[in-house]
Amino acid sequence: MNINCCICIRKAEIWTKSTVSILRKLKKKEMRTMTRAAAGSTVSATEEHKCRSIRYHSLKALYRKEMADHVTSKRFIIILILVIAMTIASVYGAVTGIKSAIMNAAIDKNASFDASYMFLKLFTTGGSSIPSYMSLIALIGPFIGLILGFDSINAEKNNGTLNRLVSQPIYRD
């Protein structure tokens, strides 16, 4: 059996289980609220808040599905490896820059060197050829979001499940 088929089947099972359980919970909560309203009792503010929170369960199921799709995709693994490599390179460049600053401060007794901000300098100071970690993430972060967003929409369209996802209501209350 093809490994991609097994992954698709597993994702479909997870999606179906989460959707069915959410729908059952919604149905039970709605039935309780309807029986109380039919009995003439007023719905309290906490019950109304619970009803609103029920509406977000469908959004939570969609979020879980998208995260499961992303974490198991090859594209996410490649992007994760690249971000880790950029982090290591950036921190290495910052450490060498800080180490040279410490050496210069030790040689020149008059130079002031503040050691209290050492951890912050690891992520905001870059090496000679490598920019700082914050600059890299500020530049690469939006591209990562675009790549993963395009991947999720395109994968749903290719699998034929985009219509099903769009047809489920997501409440804006």
How is 18-43 classified by DSSP, letter by letter? HHHHHHHHHHHHHHHHHHHHHTTPPP
The per-residue pLDDT for 81 is 92
80 and 143 co-located in one domain = yes
| Residues 80 and 140 occupy one common structural domain | yes
What average pLDDT is seen over the chain?
A: 70
pLDDT at 8 over 50: yes
Same domain, 66 and 82: no
Last residue of a domain, one of 70, 90, 120: 70
The verdict on 89 and 139 lying in the same domain is yes
Same domain, 87 and 55: no
**Which of helix, strand or coil describes residue 7?**
helix
Is residue 130 a contact partner of residue 93, using CB atoms and an 8 Å limit? yes
**Does residue 140 share a domain with residue 86?**
yes
pLDDT for residue 1 = 46
Q: Tell me, yes or no, whether 168 lies in a domain.
A: no
The whole-number pLDDT of residue 144 equals: 85
Residue-wise pLDDT tens digits, 9-36: 566 566 566 666 666 666 666 666 655 5
Mean pLDDT of 110-115: 60
Final residue of a structural domain among 70, 86, 102:
70
Higher pLDDT: 42 or 121? It is 121
**Whole-number Å distance between alpha carbons of 107 and 110:** 9
Please say which residue of 70, 92, 123 terminates a domain: 70
- Report whether 61 contacts 18 (CB < 8 A): yes
Q: Find the domain containing 104 and state its range.
A: 76-147
Q: How many domains does the chain have?
A: 2
26 against 99, higher pLDDT = 99
H-state helical runs in 72-114: 74-107
Same-domain status, 32 and 14: yes
Which pLDDT band, with edges at 50, 70 and 90, does 65 fall under?
confident
The pLDDT confidence band at residue 136, using thresholds 50, 70 and 90, is confident
